[in-house]
């Protein structure tokens, strides 16, 4: 039983008493998981970037997002909710994974997710490269069955292999479809753009069941209409949202490993997420934040606000289902 079932949840450190730049950076200055016992939502880092095809560095993403999240405040006006009061949200620290063995890392992540989800918590994972979405989805599907997937990304990430490797940051969603852990009636990429290897990439992707909302679609149709369309497709299915921060334009997220020009703004991303606030979001990740290429925490701030909106959606669901 989570502590929030008995008491009011323990929230962030009060930034009017302890300056927000002081002390250790847990996500949003929330308590650590071991301080509260169990949580409704566990924020967890996965410092792993051995699956990247270009610039490395996303292993430092989780802690960069935590640092940038010091400035988050407890009330979210855009969703009219205080996420850390509605549910016990806590920082579960990092999943320690082997950087030299991708297969072992994937197994470790799945096992750690099994353990956390087994306590009844939902997971808000901070990556790490996109490889980590596969073991997280495996674990979520063990609990909920095949889940709807909203995948925000410049890239499809449904490619087959790189250098013969099955588990990479460009391949997690093809593996997930092959494994039958996704609900193929409700799969969407959002923010897709940029050059592909060939037209076949799109044909393959469509055969797997994915719909595509391109970055240009968002610009032309607007965030509200896009969110409405996505919400209708998802319905009340258990939903997993995976957000590759490179879905944002490099102007809004320079700190990432495979940037592509012509992306959505951070405002558009946040607005689409707010439009999904009624969805049954069971877990989510924010990946591919690589702070070495960031400037003035632009990317880390965008990622921390993204995780905040996702956490708000989950906490509203948790409160509504009590």
Ligand X SMILES: N=C(N)NCCCC(=O)O
Residues at the site binding ligand X, with contacts judged by CB under 6 A: 53-54, 130, 155, 157, 169-170, 244, 246, 258, 288
Q: Please, what is the minimum distance in Å from the beta carbon of residue 43 to ligand X?
A: 21
**DSSP state for residue 87 in the 8-state scheme:** S
The answer to whether residues 87 and 41 touch, using CB atoms and an 8 Å cutoff, is: yes
* 155 binds Zn ion, rule: CB under 5 A: yes
Quote the least distance from Cβ 194 to Zn ion, whole Å.
9
CB of 274 to Zn ion, least distance (A): 22
Q: Which does 50 bind (CB under 5 to 8 A by kind): ligand X, Zn ion, none?
A: none
Binding mask 53-82 for Zn ion (x = CB under 5 A): ------------------------------
Strand order in the sheet with 281-287: 89-94, 41-46, 122-127, 281-287, 239-244, 147-152, 182-192, 210-214
Q: Which does 268 bind (CB under 5 to 8 A by kind): ligand X, Zn ion, none?
A: none
Does residue 229 have a cis peptide bond before it, meaning omega lies within 30 degrees of 0?
A: no
Selection from ligand X, Zn ion, none that 54 binds (CB < 5 to 8 A by kind) is ligand X
Q: Return left, alpha or beta for 182; rule: phi > 0 is left, psi -120 to 50 is alpha, else beta.
A: beta
**Between 266-274 and 223-234, two packed helices, what is the crossing angle to 10 degrees?**
40
Is the CB of 87 or the CB of 190 nearer to Zn ion? 190
CB of 58 to Zn ion, least distance (A): 10
CB 234, CB 213: distance < 8 Å? no
Tell me how far, at minimum, the Cβ of 199 lies from ligand X, in Å.
15
Binding mask 14-53 for Zn ion (x = CB under 5 A): ----------------------------------------
Please name the residues in contact with 264: beta carbons below 8 A apart, sequence gap of 6 or more. Answer: 191, 215, 218, 219, 247, 248, 249, 252
Of the pair 189, 316, the CB lying nearest ligand X is at 189
Q: How far is the CB of 311 from ligand X (least distance, A)?
A: 22
Q: Which is nearer to ligand X, 40 or 246 (CB)?
A: 246
When the beta carbons of 69 and 258 are compared against ligand X, the nearer one is 258
C-alpha pair distances (Å), 228 with each of 221, 225, 243, 289: 11, 5, 18, 28
CA–CA gap between residue 191 and residue 288 (Å, rounded): 15
Cα–chain center distance at 78: 19
CB of 155 to Zn ion, least distance (A): 4
Q: How far is the CB of 131 from ligand X (least distance, A)?
A: 8
Nearer to ligand X, 260 or 268 (CB): 260
- Write out the binding residues for Zn ion, residues 106-135 only, by CB under 5 A: 130
What residues numbered 241-260 form the site for Zn ion, per CB under 5 A? 244, 246
What distance in Å separates the CA atoms of residue 170 and residue 129, rounded to the nearest whole number?
9
How many beta carbons lie within 10 A of that of residue 196, not counting itself? 13
Closest CA to 277 of 90, 86, 81: 81
Q: Count residues binding Zn ion (CB under 5 A).
A: 7
Question: Judged by CB, which is closer to ligand X: 121, or 137?
Answer: 137
In sequence order, the 6+-apart residues with CB closer than 8 A to the CB of 249 are 261, 262, 263, 264, 265
Q: Which of 49, 157, 183, 205 binds Zn ion (CB under 5 A)?
A: 157
Asked whether 146 and 182 are in contact (CB, 8 A), the reply is: yes
Q: Using CB distances below 5 to 8 A depending on partner kind, what does residue 72 bind out of Zn ion, ligand X, none?
A: none
Instruction: Using CB under 5 A, list all residues that contact Zn ion.
Output: 130, 153-155, 157, 244, 246
């Amino acid at each position: 039983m989570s502590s929030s079932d008995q008491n009011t949840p323990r929230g962030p450190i009060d930034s009017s008493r302890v300056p927000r730049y002081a002390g250790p950076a847990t996500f949003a200055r929330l308590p650590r998981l071991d301080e509260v016992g169990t949580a409704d939502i566990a924020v967890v880092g996965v410092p792993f970037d051995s699956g990247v095809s270009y610039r490395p560095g996303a292993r430092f993403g989780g802690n960069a997002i935590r640092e940038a999240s010091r400035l988050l405040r407890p009330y979210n006006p855009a969703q009219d909710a205080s996420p850390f009061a509605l549910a016990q949200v806590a920082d579960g620290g990092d999943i320690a994974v082997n950087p030299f063995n991708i297969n072992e890392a994937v197994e470790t992540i799945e096992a750690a997710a099994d353990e956390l989800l087994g306590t009844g918590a939902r997971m808000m994972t901070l990556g790490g490269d996109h490889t980590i979405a596969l073991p997280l989805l495996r674990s979520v599907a063990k609990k909920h069955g095949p889940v709807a997937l909203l995948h925000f990304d410049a890239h499809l990430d449904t490619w087959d292999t790189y250098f013969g490797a099955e588990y990479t940051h460009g391949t997690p969603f093809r593996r997930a479809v092959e494994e039958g852990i996704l609900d193929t009636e409700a799969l969407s990429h959002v923010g897709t753009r940029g050059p592909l290897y060939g037209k076949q990439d799109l044909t393959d992707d469509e055969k797997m069941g994915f719909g595509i909302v391109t970055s240009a679609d968002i610009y032309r149709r607007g965030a509200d209409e896009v969110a409405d369309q996505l919400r209708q497709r998802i319905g009340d299915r258990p939903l997993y949202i995976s957000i590759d921060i490179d879905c944002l334009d490099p102007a809004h997220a320079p700190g990432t490993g495979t940037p592509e020009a012509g992306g959505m703004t951070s405002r558009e991303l946040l607005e689409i997420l707010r439009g999904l606030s009624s969805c049954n979001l069971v877990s989510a990740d924010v990946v591919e934040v690589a702070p070495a290429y960031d400037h003035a925490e632009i990317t880390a701030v965008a990622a921390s606000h993204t995780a905040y909106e996702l956490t708000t959606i989950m906490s509203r669901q948790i409160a509504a289902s009590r």
